[in-house]
Structure formats: C-alpha cells, structure tokens
Amino acid sequence: MQQIGDIFQNKAPQKKAPAYQWQDLALRIIEELHIPNFKRNSVFKVCKDYDKNFVEKCLDDTKELAEGKDKWKYFFKLVADNKK
C-alpha cells in the first residue's frame, strides 16, 4: 500500500481551465494564428471587449484570406477596421 505522502508527490500538475469563455477563445486564437508573445495581451483584450461572434468572424476571415506567417497582423487589421 502507498503512503499518503507518495500519493501527493506523484500528483501531476494540471493546468487551470479558463475562467471565462473569452479567455478560452483568446487562447485558441493565439494557438491557431501563432501570435507572438508581445501581442498576446492584445488578443485577450480584443476577446474581452468585443462580441464573440465578431471575433470568430475576424478569425475565420483571417484564416481564409491571409497567407504566410503574419496572419496575426491581418487579424488585428480586421478588428481595427470593424470596430463596434
């Protein structure tokens, strides 16, 4: 039988789930568009301030229209052009 201390030491750290849906959306955008570290906070701000449908539409348009590794720049351009 295992000692109780062994059970707690062998426990693998788990990532916390996002508290809000917009955080989950931001993490998905960061992963899909390969957002650089210095722009990640901006993605969270966009997802928090704008409607989820609007942000998802910008993401879909970016995937369809932008090419290359600078897709994230096109995403921010779409958001800026279509403000509330």
- The ranges assigned to domains in the chain are 15-81
Taking residues 34-56, what's their average pLDDT? 95
Is the pLDDT confidence value at 35 over 80? yes
Confidence of residue 43 (pLDDT cuts 50, 70, 90): very high
Helix H segments across 1-84?
4-9, 21-33, 40-49, 52-65, 71-81
With cut-offs at 50, 70 and 90, classify the pLDDT of residue 24.
Answer: very high
Which contacts (CB < 8 Å, 24+ apart) does range 16-23 have?
Answer: 20/48, 21/52, 22/47, 22/48, 22/52, 23/47
- pLDDT in the model for residue 84: 53
This prediction's pTM: 0.76
